[in-house]
Amino acid sequence: MTSADTSVALCGIVEWGVASRPFPGESESGDLHVVAPFEGGVLLGVIDGLGHGAEAAHAARRGARVLSDAPSQPVRRLIEHCHVAMRGSRGAVMTIAVLDAKHDRLTWTAIGNVEGALWRAKSDNDPIREAVVPRGGVVGYQLPSVRETVLPIARGDVLILATDGIGHDFVLDSPLKRPAQGHAHDLLDRYGKDSDDALVLVVRYLGRSL
* Whether pLDDT at 171 is above 50: yes
- Beta bridge partners, 107, equal 98, 150
What is the percent of the chain with per-residue pLDDT over 70, rounded to a whole number? 91
pLDDT of residue 115: 97
Q: How do residues 61-91 score in pLDDT, each as one tens digit?
A: 999 999 999 999 999 999 999 999 999 999 9
pTM of the complete model: 0.93
pLDDT of residue 120: 94
Average pLDDT over residues 149-175: 95
* Whether pLDDT at 125 is above 70: no
* Whether pLDDT at 29 is above 90: yes
- Beta bridge partners, 36, equal 43
Which option is the CATH number for 3-205: 3.60.40.10, 3.40.50.150, 3.30.470.20, 3.40.50.300?
A: 3.60.40.10
**Structural domain boundaries in the chain:** 3-205
Residue 83: phi and psi, rounded to 5, are: -60, -45
